[in-house]
Amino acid sequence: MSTVVSFGEIMLRLKSPGSTRLLQEPRLEATFGGGEANVAVSLAILGVPADFVSVLPVNPLGDAVVAELRRHGVNTGHIRRDKGRLGIYFLESGAAQRPSTVLYDRENSAFSQVEPEDFDWQTIFTGASWFHTSGITPALSPNAAKTALHAVKQAKKAGLTVSLDLNFRKNLWNYGKSAPEVMPALVEYTDILVANEEDIQKSLGFSAKVCDGDSGTVVHEGYRDLAGAVLEKFPNLAYVAITLREAQSANSNDWSAVLASRDCFLVSKKYSITDIVDRVGAGDAFSAGLIHAMISKPGDPAHALEFAAAASCLKHSIPGDFNLSRCSEIEALLAGTTSGRIQR
């Protein structure tokens, strides 16, 4: 199986224990995470060769990141080590009607100083068939935006399939450019676009009625119209995948997704997820599941959508950014095993 290359920043994640407020207790749980790294780890666990490309500082934190990625089977041979710092994000998990909150401390990180010429993309893409990145990378700095655009151009030149998760983060676009000014250029070199409705609205400027104002229920026709408008605007796109989260509280969500092309509009099974352990990284788990399924069973978009939705559903039960679900566990959920009974 050929390699999937993922490009982006990985950070130190510092989380308050359980559902406590940030610094309510004198300790924080330290792990690592970041959109594109989460995808690479999930793919490696699913059996897909994954290569993570990034920039890390030359210090013990950078060493620990490399060790953690290698522990999960991710190739780190194309990670650049340079001066600077590791970005940090602080996470406070919500509960009931209190939402989760994220505080970023990633300005001037080693990765944010990246330059287009820092990587030999021709060498990196040798033996690869797929390239994945997200809208987080171009939000970090002008340099990161230039490098992300250069990377997708080089990926297409090398004949790779390109997937892009829009991943709109309003608190990151602080260097004088807005997402709608930057993201369309990346989408023009993309084959598979992954997003939720807010990502599309805030990154690309589209709008559609996707929720009934009276009942709050999802309107699938609105998602069909939204995906159709994106496909019409960007003729290079083969598929648009949109995740649908219906939140009753911080602990209880309904989760599903749609997948649209010019030939089909598919709606996945809806999962009612209660007692959520950690929803961070669920979208990345969806992207990884979609990539895995499209590579392992090409030409079966219905299976790809259902596999991706099931993979991201299981991520809600796992602490940390990474989806540690195995392929057999996702397939069991697809087959209807939803009780959570002990497997002996």
Q: Where in the sequence numbering do the catalytic residues fall? A: 284
Asked whether 182 and 228 are in contact (CB, 8 A), the reply is: no
Which position has the token pair 């004949």?
Answer: 159
Q: How far apart are CA 39 and CA 130, in angstroms?
A: 12
Are the C-beta atoms of 312 and 255 separated by less than 8 Å?
Answer: yes
Other CB atoms within 10 Å distance of the CB of residue 251: 20
Amino acid symbol at 204: L
32: helix, coil or strand? Answer: strand
Measured between alpha carbons, how far is 203 from 277 in angstroms, rounded to an integer?
29
Residue 295 half-sphere exposure toward CB, CA atoms < 13 A = 24
Alpha carbons within 13 angstroms on the beta-carbon side of residue 112 total: 20
Phi then psi for 310, rounded to 5 degrees?
Answer: -70, -40
Nearest to 164 by CA among 233, 236, 247, 219: 236
Answer whether 131's CB lies under 8 Å from 122's CB.
no
